[in-house]
Amino acid sequence: MKTFETKLEGCFEIEPKVFGDSRGFFLESFQKNRYEEMLGIDIEFVQDNHSRSSRNVLRGIHSQLKKPQGKLVRVVRGEVFDVAVDLRPNSGSFGKWHSVILSEENKKQFWVPPGFGHAFLVLSEFADFEYKCTDFYDPEDEFSILWDDPDLGIRWPIKNPSLSSKDKKAQPFKKYTAFLAKNN
């Protein structure tokens, strides 16, 4: 497996070792000892999720405030533009973002540590997106940030994605920073 640091502290792109021939392929999508040794991921995963979305669906930018989830994400069918935003106020990369293309062809994974916001945009006809989480989903603890917030400046590959009603009501990044200031 190869790992690549990003400009976000603790966030990594991962290329698993793929064994393949004309019959197909095999890869380890997670191996606790290796991920701990190579990336320092010594966190228990408590939930696995699988979502399917159609072209131009954008999900996010989601985070949990009191029980942040780390996510090890990958695409098993299709292609997505995946984004992590550092929402840790004491981090040197606070408010910065990193994107990566995840696809069934490149088989890359993306480690998004606890304390980050996460989003993805489907680029293919549809995409099956799988991710391991370090904490349970709690809808009462979720905070959603506007996908196109100018203060973040994420360079999305399309202008008019399909959003859920929840994501249409997302808050500006400034509201998130005001929440942090008020509660810390």
Q: Which domains does the chain have, with CATH numbers?
A: 2-183 (2.60.120.10)
State how far the Cα of 80 lies from the Cα of 103, in Å rounded to an integer. Answer: 6
Of 35, 62, 98, 118, catalytic: 62
pLDDT tens readout for residues 93-146: 999 999 999 999 999 999 999 999 999 999 999 999 999 999 999 999 999 999
**Which residues are within 8 A (CB) of 182 and not within 5 positions of it... i.e. 6 or more apart?**
none
**12 DSSP β-pair partners:** 5, 111
Of 35, 98, 118, 131, catalytic: 131
Q: Is 137 a catalytic residue?
A: no
State how far the Cα of 169 lies from the Cα of 129, in Å rounded to an integer. Answer: 23
Q: What is the pLDDT of residue 59?
A: 98
State how far the Cα of 109 lies from the Cα of 88, in Å rounded to an integer. Answer: 22
pLDDT tens readout for residues 16-42: 999 989 999 888 888 888 888 888 888
Overall size of the chain counted in residues:
184
Q: Is 35 a catalytic residue?
A: no
Q: What is the pLDDT of residue 46?
A: 96
The CA-to-CA distance between both ends of the chain, in Å, stands at 39
Reported as a pLDDT band with limits 50, 70 and 90, residue 173 is very high
